[in-house]
Every structure is written in structure tokens, then in C-alpha cells.
Amino acid sequence: MNLLLFSSDDLLASGRLAVSDRRLQHLRQVHRAAVGDTVRVGQIDGHIGLGTILELSSQRAVIDFELNQCPPAKLPLVLLVALPRPKMLRRIVRSAAEFGVSELYLINSYRVEKSYWQTPVLAPETLRDYLLLGLEQSRDTVLPNIHLEQRFKPFVEDHLPALLENRRGMLAHPSPNAPLLNADADTGHVIAIGPEGGFIPYEVEKLIAAGFETVSLGPRILRVENAVTAALGRLLQRA
């Protein structure tokens, strides 16, 4: 936890907060914090600053703080990922927050198992928890927006045109002739990554017709979570 995130529910007064959940346990067990120590804090969807621990017990920590720093800028990116299995989904959601993705679309595909859409991981409060873990790691406060799109064709035909406006659409899909993903620092991007086994030909055709270009992440076939990390890493280098 590189940043102690808090919400208005944690406030005792202006400039003072209290925590009594996993954040308290992290302060005590991992940071080995003590009264008088300084910790970095941030308000969810707000600013970042420093706090001083006034009280620390097994029941709660009370921290006085001042916020004076803006959170880091988001990547100029909309990320589309075919819904993966739940275990992988947790890591992808957290990674999206760590890398600074502003918009994450979880979309359907022929190779997405129907049961994946029933996973408890997609509950809003669970997704929020994983996003917060990513923000804590990267010292960010702004939650990415997550959209669930269970119908592939209506999404591609009705929603993608607006997403692609003034953005470059890149489909990370294995192809012997596709150029390596190469992001422009001054251009917004929409990157699409398929399920295990990739998008089927019909889906690839629909995405290309919508305005995507096929790009490669290299000669190796990557798992979805690694493909996401590889793509985001290339964009982060150009940000």
C-alpha cells in the first residue's frame, strides 16, 4: 500500500480521518507504523498529500492530513478486453488501475464462456475493491470507469464509432504481417484484446470494419493478462 486511500466516509473532521479495516492492519503489520509517523494519503477521486498518525491501536488509526498534490495523469487510452475467466479478471482489473487506464470495457466474444458473466467478481463493489488495490500500488486516486458489454455486435456497431472518434483503434491479434504496436504520445488510443484463443474471424472483421488496425505484440502468443500488460507497458513508455 503505497498510498492510503480514503473516502468522505472515513473523515472525522476536515483534515482528519480514521481507518479501522484492512488499511489499519497494513499500517500495523506491514509498515510497522507508530504514532508520529508520516504516511502518504489520497482521497478517492481527489488529491494526494501527507498525513501524520495521531492515534494507532488495534481498533483504529487516526491521521491528520493535508492534500496538496494532483494525482498522476491517466493514459490516453480506452481498453477493450474480452471478458476473461474470473481469476484472470481480478489481475487485469487491478493492472488497469495501476497503469492508469481511464476506461475499461469488458466485452463479449464467441470464445467467452457464458458462465463468466455470472461471476461475483463483476459485482460493482468487488470491482471497486480491485481497482483500489491498483490505485494504492501506483499512488493514484482516480477510479477507472468499467463498462460491461454482453452483446458484441451491437457494441461494435453502435458504441465503437463514438469511442474511436479522435482515437486510434488497435486490435492486438496474432498476425504474421501485423506491425508491432507503436503508440503515439499525443494520440488517444482504443486497444482491443481478445479472449484465450483470440477473436474469431467474424469478430476481427467487424472490429476492422469499425476502424481498428491489426497490431502485434511480438512473435509469442501471450495469455490475456500478459497481453494486457505488454500493451499497457508500451503505452506507458510513450506517455
pLDDT digits (tens, 9 = 90+) for 33-64: 999 999 999 999 999 999 999 999 999 999 99
Residue 187 has pLDDT above 80, yes or no: no
* All cell numbers assigned to 47: 488529491
* Mean pLDDT, the chain, whole residue set: 93
Pairing of strands 77-82, 145-149: unpaired
3-state secondary structure of 140: coil
Determine the pLDDT at residue 183. Answer: 67
Q: Tell me which DSSP letter residue 85 carries.
A: -
Residue 185 has pLDDT above 70, yes or no: no
CB 104 within 8 Å of CB 147: yes
Determine the pLDDT at residue 1. Answer: 85
**Where do the domains of the chain lie?**
4-69, 77-238
Confidence class of residue 234 from pLDDT cuts 50, 70 and 90?
A: confident
Residue carrying C-alpha cell 500500500: 1
Spatial separation of the C-alpha atoms in residues 97 and 124, rounded to whole Å: 15
b/e per residue 199-208 (b: at least 16 CB within 10 A): beeebbebbe
Average pLDDT over residues 66-84: 95
- CATH number for region 4-69: 2.40.240.20
Confidence class of residue 125 from pLDDT cuts 50, 70 and 90?
A: very high
- Among the residue ranges 77-86, 182-191, 212-221, the one predicted with the least confidence is 182-191
Q: What is the pLDDT of residues 131-170, one digit of tens each?
A: 999 999 999 999 999 999 999 999 999 999 999 999 999 9
Confidence class of residue 177 from pLDDT cuts 50, 70 and 90?
A: confident
Pairing of strands 61-69, 16-19: antiparallel
Q: Tell me which DSSP letter residue 182 carries.
A: -
Per CATH, is 77-238 categorized as 3.40.1280.10? yes
Determine the pLDDT at residue 239. Answer: 57
User: What is the number of helices (H) and of strands (E) in the chain?
Assistant: 7, 12
Task: For Cα atoms 218, 198, 133, give the angle at the middle one, nearest 5 degrees.
Answer: 80
* pTM (two decimals): 0.91
Q: What percent of the chain has pLDDT over 70?
A: 97
Residue type (1 letter), 148: L
Spatial separation of the C-alpha atoms in residues 143 and 208, rounded to whole Å: 30
- Among the residue ranges 23-37, 127-141, 223-237, the one predicted with the least confidence is 223-237
Determine the pLDDT at residue 184. Answer: 67
Confidence class of residue 237 from pLDDT cuts 50, 70 and 90?
A: low
Q: What percent of the chain has pLDDT over 90?
A: 83
Backbone angles phi, psi at 187, to 5 degrees: -115, 140
